[in-house]
C-alpha cells in the first residue's frame, strides 16, 4: 500500500510523541520543563490535531518543531493501541498546565490568548491561586509580531498560549525561533477553563475518556465540526493508517 503524504506526517508525529507511563514520570517531566535552558515548546496532540496534520502542512511543520509533544485524549489512545503501542497516561493540557504553573510559583509568566473577561479572570486566578508573577496578559487575536515584542519586553520564563489550533502552534514556533529562553506551552482552551468560560466535565466522564461529549453539549455550535465531523474522520484515518500492508 502506497504511503500517502498525510500518513507520513501522522507517522512522524506519532513517533515524536513522548509517552508518560506513570505519575513519577509526569513529575520528572514537570521538573525538567520548569528549568528550560533554551526556548522550549510543549504541545499536546489530540484527535483534532491529527486531523489538522492530515490536511494542513504548515500546521504539521509547526507542530513537529515542538520540543515535547504529549498524547492527549481517548482518540489518541485508540490510535496507539491500533499500532500495538501502550498509550501511557492521558497528558491533556487542562490537567497538566496548572501543575506547570504551580511549578513556576513566584516566577515570570505570560498569558496570551482568549479574550476579556476570561483572560482577566485567568490572570487573577494564576496570580492568586497559583502565585505566579504575571508579567503580561494579552488577548489571542494580535499579529505574531505583537507577541514577539511582548516576549522581548517582558522576558517571561513561562508563556502559556491559549489561542487554539492551528494558530498557537505557529506562534509558538516563531517565539521559539526568536531565542527567548523560556517554556512556551500550546494550551488550547486552558485560559478559557481558568477564566471560567468553560467548565470541566464531571470526573466520571473524564475517567471514561468522554469529556469531549460534555464539551460538545456545552458548546455545540463551536465544536460541532471538531467532534461530530472530526471524530469519525479521525477513526477512518486511524484505520487507514494502521491497516496491514498486503504481501
**pLDDT per residue as tens digits for the range 89-103:** 999 999 999 999 999
Contact 219, 193 (CB under 8 A): no
Cα separation of the two ends of the chain: 10
CA–CA separation, 193 vs 19, rounded Å? 25
Give the helix, strand, coil percentages of the chain, each rounded to 5. Answer: 55, 15, 35
Question: If you average pLDDT over residues 212-235, what whole number do you get?
Answer: 90
* pLDDT score recorded for residue 247: 43
Q: ∠ CA 231-205-44 to the nearest 5 degrees?
A: 55
The residue ranking higher by pLDDT, 135 or 201, is: 135
Is 61 in a helix, a strand, or coil? helix
Q: How far is CA 223 from CA 30, 217, 219, in A?
A: 30, 9, 6
Question: If you average pLDDT over residues 104-116, what whole number do you get?
Answer: 97
What's the pLDDT tens digit per position in 62-92?
Answer: 999 999 999 999 999 999 999 999 999 999 9
* pLDDT score recorded for residue 28: 97
- As given in the structure block, the three cell numbers for residue 227 are 467532534
| Sequence-separated (6 or more) residues with CB below 8 Å from residue 153 | 136
What's the pLDDT tens digit per position in 116-169?
Answer: 999 999 999 999 999 999 999 999 999 999 999 999 999 999 999 999 899 999
pTM for this entry? 0.93
The residues that bridge with 184 in the sheet, in sequence order, are 41, 159
Answer whether residue 180 shows pLDDT above 80. Answer: no
Residue identified by cell 470526573 is 203
Q: How far is CA 20 from CA 40, 50, 102, in A?
A: 18, 19, 20
- Burial readout 83-93 (b: 16 or more C-beta within 10 A, e: otherwise): eeeebbbbbbb
Give the pairing of strands 40-45 and 68-71. Answer: parallel
Mean pLDDT, the chain, whole residue set: 93
* pLDDT score recorded for residue 181: 84
Q: Which run of H or E residues covers position 135? A: strand 133-138
Contact 7, 53 (CB under 8 A): no
CA–CA separation, 106 vs 135, rounded Å? 11
* pLDDT score recorded for residue 213: 87
Amino acid at each position: 500500500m502506497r504511503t500517502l503524504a498525510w500518513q507520513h506526517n501522522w507517522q512522524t508525529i506519532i513517533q515524536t510523541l513522548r509517552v508518560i507511563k506513570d505519575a513519577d514520570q509526569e513529575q520528572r517531566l514537570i521538573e525538567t520543563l520548569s528549568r528550560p535552558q533554551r526556548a522550549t515548546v510543549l504541545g499536546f496532540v489530540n484527535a483534532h490535531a491529527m486531523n489538522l496534520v492530515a490536511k494542513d502542512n504548515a500546521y504539521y511543520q509547526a507542530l513537529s518543531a515542538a520540543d515535547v509533544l504529549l498524547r492527549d485524549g481517548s482518540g489518541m489512545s485508540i490510535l496507539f493501541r491500533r499500532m500495538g503501542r501502550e498509550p501511557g497516561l492521558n497528558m491533556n493540557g487542562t490537567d497538566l498546565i496548572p501543575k506547570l504553573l504551580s511549578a513556576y510559583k513566584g516566577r515570570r509568566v505570560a498569558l496570551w490568548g482568549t479574550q476579556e473577561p476570561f483572560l482577566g479572570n485567568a490572570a487573577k486566578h494564576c496570580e492568586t491561586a497559583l502565585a505566579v508573577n504575571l508579567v503580561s496578559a494579552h488577548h489571542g487575536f494580535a499579529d505574531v509580531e505583537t507577541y514577539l515584542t511582548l516576549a522581548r519586553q517582558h522576558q517571561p520564563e513561562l508563556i502559556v498560549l491559549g489561542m487554539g489550533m492551528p494558530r498557537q502552534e505557529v506562534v509558538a514556533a516563531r517565539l521559539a525561533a526568536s531565542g527567548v529562553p523560556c517554556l512556551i506551552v500550546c494550551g488550547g482552551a486552558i485560559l478559557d477553563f481558568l477564566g471560567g468560560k468553560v467548565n470541566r466535565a464531571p470526573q466520571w466522564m473524564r475517567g471514561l475518556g468522554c469529556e469531549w461529549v460534555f464539551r460538545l453539549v456545552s458548546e455545540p455550535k463551536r465544536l460541532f465540526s471538531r467532534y461530530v465531523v472530526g471524530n469519525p474522520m479521525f477513526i477512518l484515518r486511524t484505520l487507514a493508517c494502521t491497516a496491514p500492508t498486503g504481501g
